[in-house]
């Protein structure tokens, strides 16, 4: 419903509403209920459609990189098998390419399906029964069976099953914290007179799905169900396609950059080789292989493996990662926006102070408050629970319960805003003990007690009392007064008239306190370059207090009403320069998050109520906590199962480490491939044969990519984790142009060495002097030489470029990465001496080759280290 409809339902007469929904005080008949369900809709929420498995499969296997590989596999199948002569048909290249697609896609699919099974049951929040009057009788029905026009009976502890208009109410107290973020319950009154439109949840005679009955009872008419409720309208906005995160944008930009580069280089290689060797089919096949070599086809798998490893680590620390991409985004966050209630605070009201009228802690005040709260027969609200818990900690309540007996009580009502109990001690002394809102307590208290002396409340004393209460209110506390009177009326004659001429003995100050770990967590975030902003629906006083307690600077505070006065340009500046925003509605929270993202920030939003859900959706990372309402958990990418907010710091560090490991693969692979293309172009111009067979390139690529699977298990230097990390596709281009040509230098020296020295020495002469059989042997030896050198340099440069420090001396890779990359080098090195190497047309290498290889590799790593120094000097960071 919209604001106009809520106003109409709040002001329309009950008779007209009954006519509108074809109902009465006896409720709907079974037939009328079915008709209303057809007309007004079922009481079910739609939280977006579940992605079909087929779509998940397509998304996993069809990526920009795999599309290229699939295309190359099809072309290779046609050229190597369909149109090839029967004796020359070979599917090995097709097999290698297909294996790359299957391995990468399968891992992505498994994790995608697994992540989608995370708690996405929005309906679980309302999966309870409610008391409905049907056919003139009260029955219990599942909430999803409720329809517009039903008469609902509510009691303490009930969940509001739909949006309702009150018909009658008695002492009705509703918790709307999941909708508004307000800590304290609010009063709802059926007889309230509405004269003008209000903010939706402010209507005194309307109740809303997703809120709870704290105390009292009521009957109400269902006016909206399912997606038409306020709860449903927010849920509906969450089913929209999420905004791409900075991580996803970075992946896409990088993918397109590499694919564009491949689209330029591969045809160029085909043309040059076609002209050089005068065999266009062979040149075309070689160009296809070069395209595969340029494609970091394992990028989806490397990314997914990193994210899965991170999610498993986080799960052990009590955190559910619903959206795998959110782990990396943790590391990129430079602004964390947080709600206050339930995230910074415990979402549990406590009795902060029990003060006498001198402003000093006094257990006598707590004792009187305890007797009042413990012995009243109505539902004990959060304030009563807080008093009782504090008394259990500080007083001998067992003795109090023995020494005092209840005589009578005067129940709470919202006109008086107070309640009284009459107690009698073991000596027969009777006392009336009253607690309530301070203004109401002053209205019935003629005296005040200071240091055991009772004094009349003069105008001056009244101002002193109000000043003390205002001081507590400025600290964000809710204050109640406690008064007592000795020997009131006789039993059976107690009434509200007895609440007069009482003695004010003290104050009770309540607070929704911050979590113990919040301050340390926020300090840790600041140390790691993450700014914190508070977006809350709560009031300024309470928010100010909490922010001061957790160490957030409290300067100028912006309210939701003030935001409406700013222009769009002013809002972008306001959200940058201010840290605390209060009295915000869900739309304002979402808009502020969007503005921060438009300003170039990577934004995390942490909240626990339905009023936070839209902002979580708009953020790069939505973070919720274990006590959150289900809709907040559904909107979150990350759910903290433990109340220890230090998990946030762990998440940030994990995210940055994962980002660094992904960058290792992307940047080193892209630069190596870029360098290989320079090498291929140079070789194509100087050699009378192609520098490496297509199948050899594919196999070399497979060994390298399998070695790269170890990267997710590598560690990052501590210094790398100190600042937020954001994906920048342009930095990948810079990295390619700086480090790619360095590898080409030594590829070219290897070409010269193999073509003019080693191969002629082993085969028996220069290439142009050999017969056909010797030329085949020459080419096989040349290919083997470049194959091994290329694998060594491409793999070892991972260790050099993984850290700004000197590799193997100042910073070492993890044991897993060192072991697997070493195994990759060993496999590639012995390959020319095996039967498989023979099938790949590789020849065994002579002994003098290995000395030159070691010299080449050491010189290459030294040059990379020097270039790395100048690169960091220019751009400030390596990865």
Positions marked active-site: 339
Going by C-alpha positions, the residue among 148, 149, 132 that lies closest to residue 140 is 132
Task: Write out the H or E segment, with its range, that includes residue 669.
Answer: helix 647-686
How far is it, in rounded angstroms, from Cα 664 to Cα 787?
Answer: 22
Going by C-alpha positions, the residue among 796, 820, 819 that lies closest to residue 707 is 820
Please, are residues 506 and 452 in contact by the beta-carbon 8 Å criterion?
no
Distances (CA, A) of 301 to 120, 601, 674, 802: 25, 27, 21, 19
How far is it, in rounded angstroms, from Cα 360 to Cα 369?
Answer: 16
Q: Is 353 helix (H, G, I), strand (E, B) or coil?
A: strand
Can you read off the two tokens belonging to residue 76? 């290779």
Q: Is 606 helix (H, G, I), strand (E, B) or coil?
A: strand
Question: What does the DSSP 8-state code read for residue 757?
Answer: I
Can you read off the two tokens belonging to residue 699? 């196999």
How far is it, in rounded angstroms, from Cα 66 to Cα 43?
Answer: 44
How far is it, in rounded angstroms, from Cα 700 to Cα 794?
Answer: 10
Q: How many residues does the chain have?
A: 879
Going by C-alpha positions, the residue among 521, 726, 513 that lies closest to residue 640 is 521
Please, are residues 826 and 796 in contact by the beta-carbon 8 Å criterion?
no
| Cα 577 off chain centre by | 24
The DSSP secondary structure of 453-481, one letter per residue, reads EEEE--HHHHHHHHHHHHHHHHTT-EEEE
Q: Would you tell me the crossing angle of helices 246-277 and 729-753 to the nearest 10 degrees?
A: 30
Alpha-helix runs per DSSP H in 831-877: 835-839, 847-875
Going by C-alpha positions, the residue among 666, 675, 728, 744 that lies closest to residue 265 is 675
How far is it, in rounded angstroms, from Cα 485 to Cα 499?
Answer: 9
Q: How many CB atoms lie within 10 A of CB 53?
A: 11
CB within 8 Å of 164: residues ≥ 6 apart: 152, 206, 207, 208, 220, 221, 222, 223
Please, are residues 407 and 377 in contact by the beta-carbon 8 Å criterion?
no
Radius of gyration of the chain (CA): 37
Q: How many CB atoms lie within 10 A of CB 625?
A: 24
How far is it, in rounded angstroms, from Cα 398 to Cα 380?
Answer: 19
- Beta pairing partners, 319: 640
Tokens 């008469």, located at residue: 151
Q: How many CB atoms lie within 10 A of CB 562?
A: 14
How far is it, in rounded angstroms, from Cα 530 to Cα 723?
Answer: 8
The DSSP secondary structure of 684-705, one letter per residue, reads HHH-SS-SS-HHHHHHHHHHHH
Tokens 């920048």, located at residue: 728
The DSSP secondary structure of 269-316, one letter per residue, reads HHHHHHHHHS-HHHHHHHHHHHHHHH--TTHHHHHHHHHHHHHHHHHH
Phi, psi of 447 (to 5 degrees): -135, 160
Distances (CA, A) of 635 to 115, 245, 466, 601, 704: 14, 14, 44, 20, 39
User: Could you give the dihedral angle defined by the CA atoms of residues 847, 848, 852 and 857, in that order, rounded to the nearest 10 degrees?
Assistant: 10
How far is it, in rounded angstroms, from Cα 235 to Cα 237?
Answer: 5
Can you read off the two tokens belonging to residue 127? 């999966």
């Amino acid at each position: 419903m919209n604001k106009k409809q809520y106003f109409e339902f709040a002001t329309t007469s009950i008779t007209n509403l009954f006519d509108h929904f074809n109902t009465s005080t006896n409720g709907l008949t079974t037939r009328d209920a079915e008709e209303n369900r057809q007309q007004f809709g079922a009481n079910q929420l739609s939280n977006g459609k579940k992605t079909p498995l087929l779509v998940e499969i397509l998304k996993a296997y069809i990526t920009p990189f795999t599309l290229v590989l699939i295309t190359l596999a099809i072309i290779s199948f046609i050229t190597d098998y369909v149109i090839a002569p029967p004796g020359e048909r070979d599917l090995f290249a097709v097999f290698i390419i297909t294996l790359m697609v299957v391995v990468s896609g399968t891992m992505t699919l498994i994790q995608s399906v697994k992540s989608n099974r995370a708690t996405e049951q929005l309906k679980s929040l309302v999966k309870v029964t409610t008391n409905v009057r049907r056919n003139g009788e009260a029955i219990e029905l599942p909430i999803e069976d409720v329809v517009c026009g039903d008469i609902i009976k509510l009691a303490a502890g009930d969940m509001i099953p739909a949006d309702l208009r009150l018909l009658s109410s008695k002492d009705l107290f509703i918790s709307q914290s999941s909708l508004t973020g307000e800590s304290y319950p609010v009063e709802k009154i059926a007889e309230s007179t509405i004269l003008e439109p209000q903010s939706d949840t402010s209507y005194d005679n309307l109740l809303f799905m997703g809120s709870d009955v704290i105390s009292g009872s009521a009957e109400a008419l269902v006016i909206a169900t399912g997606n038409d409720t306020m709860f449903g309208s927010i849920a509906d906005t969450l089913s929209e396609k999420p905004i791409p995160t900075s991580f996803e944008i970075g992946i896409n930009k990088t993918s397109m950059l590499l694919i564009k580069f491949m689209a330029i280089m591969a045809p160029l290689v085909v043309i040059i080789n076609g002209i050089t060797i005068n065999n266009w089919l062979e040149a075309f096949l070689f160009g296809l292989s070069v395209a595969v070599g340029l494609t970091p086809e394992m990028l989806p798998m490397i990314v997914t493996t990193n994210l899965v490893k991170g999610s498993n680590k986080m799960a052990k620390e009590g955190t559910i990662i619903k959206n795998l991409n959110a782990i990396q985004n943790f590391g990129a966050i430079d602004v964390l926006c947080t709600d206050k209630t339930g995230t910074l605070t415990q979402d549990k009201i406590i009795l902060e102070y029990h003060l006498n009228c001198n402003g000093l802690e006094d257990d006598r005040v707590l004792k009187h408050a305890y007797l009042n709260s413990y012995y009243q027969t109505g539902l004990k609200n959060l304030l009563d629970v807080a008093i009782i818990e504090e008394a259990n900690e500080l007083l001998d309540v067992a003795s109090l319960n023995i020494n005092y007996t209840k005589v009578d009580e005067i129940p709470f009502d919202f006109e008086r805003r107070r309640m009284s109990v009459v107690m009698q001690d073991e000596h027969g002394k009777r006392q009336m003990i009253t607690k309530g809102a301070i203004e109401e307590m002053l209205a019935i208290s003629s005296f005040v007690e200071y240091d055991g002396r009772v004094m009349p409340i003069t105008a001056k004393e009244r101002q002193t009392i109000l000043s003390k209460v205002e001081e507590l209110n400025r600290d964000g506390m809710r204050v109640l007064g406690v008064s007592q009177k000795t020997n009131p009326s006789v039993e059976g004659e107690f009434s509200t008239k007895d609440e007069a001429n009482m003695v004010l003995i003290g104050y009770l100050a309540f607070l929704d306190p911050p979590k113990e770990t919040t301050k340390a967590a926020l300090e840790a975030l600041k140390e790691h370059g993450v700014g914190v902003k508070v977006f809350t629906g709560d009031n300024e006083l309470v928010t100010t207090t909490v922010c001061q307690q957790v160490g957030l600077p409290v300067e100028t505070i912006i309210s939701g009403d003030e935001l409406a006065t700013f222009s769009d340009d002013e809002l972008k500046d306001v959200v940058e320069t201010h840290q605390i925003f209060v009295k915000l509605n869900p739309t304002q929270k979402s808009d502020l998050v969007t503005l921060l993202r438009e300003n170039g920030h990577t934004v995390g939003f942490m909240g626990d109520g339905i009023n936070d859900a839209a902002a979580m959706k708009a953020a790069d990372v939505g973070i919720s906590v274990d006590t959150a309402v289900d809709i907040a958990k559904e909107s979150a990418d990350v759910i903290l199962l433990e109340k220890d907010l230090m998990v946030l710091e762990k998440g940030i560090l994990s995210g940055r480490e994962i980002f660094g490991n992904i960058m290792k693969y992307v940047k080193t692979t892209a630069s190596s491939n870029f360098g290989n293309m320079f090498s291929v172009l140079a070789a194509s111009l100087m050699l009378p044969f192609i520098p490496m067979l297509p199948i050899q390139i594919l196999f070399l690529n497979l060994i390298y990519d399998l070695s790269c699977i170890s990267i997710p298990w590598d560690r990052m230097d501590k210094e790398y984790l100190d600042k937020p990390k954001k994906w920048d596709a342009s930095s990948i281009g810079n990295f390619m142009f700086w480090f790619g040509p360095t590898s080409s230098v030594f590829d070219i020296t290897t070409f010269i060495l193999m073509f003019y020295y080693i191969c002629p020495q082993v085969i028996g002469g220069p290439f142009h002097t050999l017969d056909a059989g010797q030329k085949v042997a020459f080419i096989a030896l040349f290919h083997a030489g470049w194959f091994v050198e290329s694998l060594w340099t491409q793999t070892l440069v991972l260790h050099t470029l993984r850290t700004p420090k000197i590799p193997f001396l100042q910073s070492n890779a993890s044991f897993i990465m060192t072991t697997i990359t070493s195994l990759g080098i060993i496999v590639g090195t012995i390959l020319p001496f095996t039967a498989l190497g023979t099938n790949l047309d590789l020849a065994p290498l002579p002994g003098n080759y290995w000395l030159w290889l070691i010299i080449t590799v050491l010189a290459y790593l030294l040059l990379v280290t020097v270039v790395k120094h100048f690169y960091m000097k220019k751009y400030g960071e390596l990865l």
